[in-house]
């Protein structure tokens, strides 16, 4: 199978091709646009989770009294 055939299948199906061996998936081929959109979505989720940390926790520093003695 040629690379152009693989590209055509991905373009028509809108999915991805997963190549596997006995240990599981070894290679995933997908459209670059799909990869970038998934990566951007993950970055947005990570930013949302990071922004949910209260400001007082972010700037609060530990003191000797905070240690469990």
Q: What does the longest C-alpha to C-alpha distance in the chain come to?
A: 68
Q: Which residue has the higher pLDDT, 56 or 10?
A: 10
Q: Partners of 20 in the beta sheet?
A: 25
Domain map (residue ranges) of the chain = 3-60
User: If you count them, how many residues does the chain have?
Assistant: 69
- Beta strand spans in 1-69 (E): 17-21, 24-29
**Is residue 25 within 8 Å of residue 18, measured between CB atoms?**
yes
pLDDT tens for 14-29 read: 777 778 888 887 777 8
CA distances in angstroms from 34 to 5, 38, 56, listed in the order given = 19, 6, 38
Q: Partners of 19 in the beta sheet?
A: 27
pLDDT tens for 40-66 read: 988 888 877 766 666 655 566 777 888
pLDDT at 49: 73
């Amino acid at each position: 199978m040629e690379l152009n055939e693989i590209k055509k299948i991905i373009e028509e199906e809108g999915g991805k091709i997963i190549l596997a061996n006995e240990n599981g998936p070894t290679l995933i081929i997908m459209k670059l646009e799909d990869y970038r959109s998934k990566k951007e979505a993950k970055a947005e989720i990570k930013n949302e989770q990071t922004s949910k940390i209260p400001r007082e926790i972010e700037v609060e520093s530990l003191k000797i009294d905070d240690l469990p003695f």
